[in-house]
Amino acid sequence: MTIPPKPLPPTPVLETKRLILRPLVPADAPVIQRRFPHWEIVRYLNPRVPWPYPADGAIRFIETCQGEMARGEKHHWAIRLKDEPGELIGSINLWPDDGQSRDMRGFWLDPEFQGRGLMTEAADRVTDYAFHDLDWPHLWVSNAEPNRASARVKERQGARLVGFEPFRSVSGDGRRMVWLIEKEAWLARSTEASARPNIAADEAKRGE
């Protein structure tokens, strides 16, 4: 018998050096409708995502997210740049381990903003929240095997590749990569990173 996970607290606002993660709200729907439905984003996602994306797809998505957050089932954040906080550039979500799916986080980012380390920055902040604030022992994460950009985020986070499983995405049948991030390893890694000397800052002070 699977024990239902403890309901999540209200979705908090999280910040990083360059980003603000805010709970998704109905006002985000027009931007999602414009930024999300690109084949480059959608092709690797679960086939629950409708494709071609309907004209009311974002509105329905936000309604689902609002219900999940109200019931404490999932956190849904809009990813925004601190320099331009008025409009989201992507989204990231988080949910408890159900003991079966081996998946606890998802994200997407407008291709215009990819290649800058922004998604890793958002994922790191959400992972810190999961381990420090929610006190979860681990995070299961996954991606479609061809989605190398998503896999690189996991690699940068120090996730351990557990294996491969059959997976059907919007683009068809294939495999997914299943990864595990464990709290103890994450905290040790974070401690090591904070203990390293800031070489770039030292060089800047010396004018190098």
Which tens digits make up the pLDDT trace of 168-202?
A: 999 999 999 999 999 999 999 888 877 766 543 44
Chain mean pLDDT for the chain: 92
What per-residue confidence (pLDDT) applies to 2? 55
Task: Express as a percent the part of the chain with pLDDT over 90.
Answer: 87
Residues 101, 49, 116, 12, CA torsion sign: negative
Full set of structural domains in the chain with CATH:
14-198 (3.40.630.30)
Q: What is the pLDDT of residues 73-97, one digit of tens each?
A: 999 999 999 999 999 999 999 999 9
| pLDDT above 80 for 122 | yes
What per-residue confidence (pLDDT) applies to 105? 98
What per-residue confidence (pLDDT) applies to 207? 40
The whole-model pTM stands at: 0.90
